[in-house]
Amino acid sequence: MTIKSIHGCIGCGECVQACPCDVIRLDPDTGKAVIAYPADCQICHLCRMYCPVDAIEMSPEKSIPVIVAWG
């Protein structure tokens, strides 16, 4: 699930800004961060590290099939 869940978000938008891959957006209604495009998460943890209240939980597993050079 890549970036997995967000709990206790204060809506500061740091993670939205910090994510290189534009995975997270602020929900216009609630003002809180939502995982909008999980398939594009590169599991780099920048969002988690920038979140001032440590609201983001990560998982190491990608949500779409992973293509590598050999298996």
**Residues in the site for another protein, rule: CB under 8 A?**
2, 4-5, 7-14, 17-22, 31, 36-37, 39-40, 42-46, 48-55, 57-58, 60-71
Which one of another protein, ligand SF4, none is in contact with 15 (Cβ closer than 5 to 8 A by kind)?
Answer: ligand SF4
Give yes or no for residue 64 binding ligand SF4 (CB under 6 A): no
**Binding map of ligand SF4 across residues 3-42, x = CB under 6 A, - = no contact:** x--x--xxxxxxx--xxxx-xx--------x-------xx
Per DSSP, the residues of the chain read: --EEEE-S-----HHHHH-TT--EEE-TTT-SEEE--GGG-----HHHHH-TT--EEE-S--SS----S--
Strand partners, 56: 6
